[in-house]
Structure 1
Amino acid sequence: MRALLVANPAATTTTAKVRDVLVRALSSDLKVDVAETTHRGHARELGEQATADGIDVVVTLGGDGTVNETVDGLLAGGPGTHVPALAVVPGGSTNVFSRALGRSRDPVEATAEILDSLRAGRTRRVSLGTASAQVAVGTDIAWGTGWTPPRWFVFSAGLGFDADVIRRVEEQRARGRRSTGGLYVRAGTRAFLTGPDRRRPAMTVHVPGEPPREDLFLCLVSNVNPWTYLGHRAIAPSPEAGFDNGLAVFGLGRLGAVRMISHLRTTMSDRPEVRGRAVHRRHDLAELTVTASRPQGWQLDGDHLGPATALRVRSVPSALEVVV
């Protein structure tokens, strides 16, 4: 069986020593080629080439961003039996997709689990999503005049507050700060207290066949549960989400700090059923569109992708075969 290991040397918990240990372990059962990413978008190029080359399984070693890019490349020509299976070894700070698949948080243990699964033929097809954003096409063109090509995501897409938090974290990481739960908490607190969006919500959710839901400052679309983690604590705004369902959307309208803290605590509880007048929750959706009256940040799988005035999201059932 031919395998490609896509390793991101810049990922939070990835080291050359860990990579070498994994390569030796994988080589016991697989014919392994190794490729280290060198620039943004490189994992996508490697994933697309792996599909073209007829590779049997692609193993990623990195964070959720590495997984996202690799999947976007694997599925560049669309789903099908010609697409390699995906196996994920956690190497980032959060590793949402890997944990959603039930992988160990330790990369060496996760590799052993993957080898056991490959020997036993344990794979499954999971539903993913695609997202396209409406952005400016040039400096002379007004906002909202062009759509980006659809891009795959493996666990979440968002417009508004969550993308703003990710942008703030990425700015801190560019200054040398380590990605930690505390860094996200501080960025989220500042975005909520100082940002204009919760006081002047700009977004509207449009679900086909339903009335639009207006005045939202956060709109998070996910296809896994939990949506993310704060260290060991799961954050589950959409507990109905899952790889076998359509998309789940969680939106928040105008609310104060006390209510926001209460909702956050609920999403981290054993019964994460957030409710209230400012809460908008829907699940098992085939598609939806989010529009904004002014530019908002958008994100896919924790990667900030710039400002946009709309986000078009679709569910793709049984999109990818993964090793479980």
Structure 2
Amino acid sequence: MECHFDAVAVGLIEDELAVALQCLRGWIECTRIRRIRDLLYTDDNVHSTQVWRAFRHAPNSRQSEHARRCTVPRGVVPGARPERGGVKVLLIVNSSASSVTARAKVVIQKALSADHDVTLSETSRRGHAARLAQGAATSGTELVIVLGGDGTLNEAANGLAGTTTALAPLPGGSTNVFARTLGLPDDPIEATGVLLDAVSRGSIRRVGLGSVNKRYFLFHCGIGYDAAVVAFVERRGQLKRYAGHPLFVYSAVDTWLRRYDRKHPHFAVQHEDGMFIDDGYFGICFNTDPYTYLGARPLSLAPDATLDTALTMVTIRSLRLSRLAALVVRALRGKSIEGARSVDYHADVTDFTIRGHTTFPYQVDGDYLGEVSTLRFRYEPAVLDLVIP
């Protein structure tokens, strides 16, 4: 029987397979690889069996040996929906995020749809993910998966906090701090396989979040200097997609040299235990650690901060280059900065206030939120259901 291929469809199939099978690698069990591979066996992809045979024997194919050994079992109809029950899923995608591509989006949606009832929605503006997540919770959706950066994930968490709809991240941004903190691979398709396993095991925990002026955060809130760096990066949004880490490094240096007052303190911190620090230059309130990643290396400033504890507040009381360099070296070596010079370190705190000597910038989970004169921090226990790989 003669086969008629649509050139665009065939190209898309080849792209999907090249990305999916390369990234899933040999460590994912056969059933997961078969799930991605079965994207071929749908009514949308004509003559898919022959396309798969062509792919298997193509000279440039980069499948793993493990994937080649995973064949469709005798008696199984390719493309058939699994008999076991799935859950109702909303997949929120920020297509503007650094690592989100059209082909990855297609592969991930179809991989999730193999077991679950999946609806895909794309964000179109700031704050959109929060409204999408809130609407999903109201409509009875059981799981919201976010393919995007930390900022999009934060919005979804704010939409789901206090509901019984679970949240799961897929890394789509430039750094993906929270997804990597949970142990997910930094590749979104590879992470999809891990996430599917966690969902199938029912690995969901009710976790606590930090809140600042009634805005929830998943991993940290930055006050002062680092917020000024984030603001500088966000003003160059298009460069962020392509320059990523180099842009952050350049912004950190440029902000330190020219855009932030290093001579005068910016804020005071009033802790619930009565401790008062009035010479803060730069602060970070942690819900989890690390602070960020430099390539593959975590920059761990507050190892006490985990999903099992309350907040950790770190106040840096000097921006002298020698002091900052010493802190970075300690963090890269995996040592806590507690006890370091010019550092005030408070672990397991639940309520405190920051007041500015003038207005100061702040950011939440990597999103710049502007300048304020006062921030009220609280720890909110058990407010979000989170899928844990």
Same fold (TM over 0.5): yes
After the TM superposition, which residues 1-324 of structure 1 pair with which residues of structure 2 at under 5 Å, given as runs? 1-75=87-161, 79=162, 82-132=163-213, 150-174=214-238, 178-324=242-388
Q: Offset at 1:95?
A: 0.6
- For residue 329 of structure 2, give the secondary structure of its aligned residue in structure 1: helix
Distance 1:222 1:40 in 2: 23
Task: Identify which range, 201-210 or 30-39, moves more after superposition.
Answer: 201-210
Unpaired segments ≥5 residues, structure 1: 133-149
Q: Offset at 1:197?
A: 2.9
Identity of aligned residues (%): 35
Letter in 2 for 1:230: L
Unpaired segments ≥5 residues, structure 2: 1-86
Q: CA RMSD in A?
A: 1.5
**1:9-67 deviation digits (Å, cap 9, x = unpaired):** 00000011101100110011100001011111110110110111010101100000110
* Preserved contact between residue 239 and residue 273 of structure 1 (Cα < 8 Å): no
Q: Is the alpha carbon distance of 1:36 and 1:3 closer, same or farther for their aligned partners in structure 2, counting shifts above 3 Å?
A: same
Task: Identify which range, 297-306 or 267-276, moves more after superposition.
Answer: 267-276
Q: TM-score, normalized by length of structure 2?
A: 0.75
Q: Offset at 1:290?
A: 0.9
Kindly indicate which of the two structures has a greater share of residues assigned to helix: 2
Q: Is the alpha carbon distance of 1:251 and 1:318 closer, same or farther for their aligned partners in structure 2, counting shifts above 3 Å?
A: same
* Preserved contact between residue 267 and residue 274 of structure 1 (Cα < 8 Å): no
Letter in 2 for 1:15: T
Structure number with greater Rg is 2
Q: How many residues align?
A: 302
- For residue 307 of structure 1, give the secondary structure of its aligned residue in structure 2: strand
* Preserved contact between residue 198 and residue 217 of structure 1 (Cα < 8 Å): yes
Letter in 1 for 2:122: E
Distance 2:91 2:101 in 1: 14
Distance 1:102 1:92 in 2: 16
Q: Offset at 1:273?
A: 3.0
Q: Offset at 1:253?
A: 1.0
**1:60-104 deviation digits (Å, cap 9, x = unpaired):** 0000011011111112xxx2xx42111111100111111111111
Q: Offset at 1:175?
A: 5.9
Distance 1:191 1:251 in 2: 19
- For residue 192 of structure 2, give the secondary structure of its aligned residue in structure 1: helix
Q: Is the alpha carbon distance of 1:161 and 1:323 closer, same or farther for their aligned partners in structure 2, counting shifts above 3 Å?
A: same
Q: TM-score, normalized by length of structure 1?
A: 0.89
* Preserved contact between residue 85 and residue 321 of structure 1 (Cα < 8 Å): yes
Q: Offset at 1:119?
A: 1.2
Distance 2:381 2:283 in 1: 22
Letter in 2 for 1:158: G
Distance 1:279 1:15 in 2: 41
